[in-house]
């Protein structure tokens, strides 16, 4: 992994269905953020994006920096905007805290795919449907993201409608478990 790509983990969601903030989840006794960083072994910069009142979740100190989104409740598009505002690199790989089975190889694949698309502002994957995470963005995407935040279309997936944002099919050899998203306590039981 190159030093010019920041790994940004979004961990500021409300997690109503989970019953607790997702960044406070433990998997087999290990805080989810520590588990993610150990699994990914990212050699470049790392950034944790949290929300007001959700700062410093277990494992936060393992990140190079934590940035707190100044506006709560605007969803992942706002988290992406905050990440792009604070990233010191041209490229940012973005992952949600509730996807604990994403592996380093998948993120490397995304970085390589983006490098082969020098004009793309962002790249999202399709696996049956458009998957907003993991995804990758250029710093120059920030203007489009900001414009979307000021509109009625605030979903991260809606960026795919914008010029310069591309979607590609996820490699078929990726295990289906990579798409596991922890939204409820029942989802978490799948990891026991």
Domains and CATH numbers, the chain: 5-189 (3.90.550.10)
- Dump pLDDT digits (tens) for 116-168: 999 999 999 999 888 999 999 999 999 999 999 998 888 899 999 999 999 99
Global pTM reads 0.93
Residue 176 Cα distances to 13, 151, 190, angstroms = 24, 34, 13
Whether the Cβ atoms of residue 125 and residue 102 lie closer than 8 Å to each other? no
Q: What is each CA distance from 23 to 95, 122, 168, in whole angstroms? A: 13, 25, 28
Rounded CA-CA distance 182/178 in Å is 11
DSSP class of residue 15 equals: -
**What confidence tens digit (pLDDT) does each residue in 30-88 have?**
999 999 999 999 999 999 999 988 899 999 999 999 999 998 888 899 999 999 999 99
Q: 142's torsion region: left (phi>0), alpha (psi -120 to 50) or beta?
A: alpha
Task: Please name the residues in contact with 15: beta carbons below 8 A apart, sequence gap of 6 or more.
Answer: 21, 22, 98
């Amino acid at each position: 992994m190159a030093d010019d790509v920041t790994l940004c983990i979004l961990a500021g969601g409300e997690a109503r269905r989970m019953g607790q903030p997702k960044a406070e989840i433990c998997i087999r006794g290990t805080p989810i953020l520590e588990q993610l960083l150990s699994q990914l072994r990212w050699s470049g910069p790392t950034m944790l994006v949290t929300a007001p009142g959700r700062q410093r979740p277990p494992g936060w100190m393992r990140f190079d920096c934590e940035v707190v989104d100044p506006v709560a409740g605007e969803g992942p598009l706002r988290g992406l905007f905050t990440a792009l505002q604070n990233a010191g690199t041209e490229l940012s790989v973005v992952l949600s805290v509730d996807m604990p089975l994403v592996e380093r190889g998948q993120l490397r694949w995304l970085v390589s795919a983006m490098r082969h698309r020098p004009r793309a502002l962002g790249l999202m994957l399709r696996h049956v449907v458009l998957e907003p995470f993991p995804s990758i963005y250029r710093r120059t995407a920030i203007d489009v993201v900001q414009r979307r935040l000021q509109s009625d279309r605030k979903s991260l997936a809606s960026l795919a409608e914008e010029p310069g944002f591309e979607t590609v099919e996820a490699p078929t050899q990726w295990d289906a478990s990579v798409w596991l998203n922890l939204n409820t306590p029942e989802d978490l039981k799948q990891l026991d």
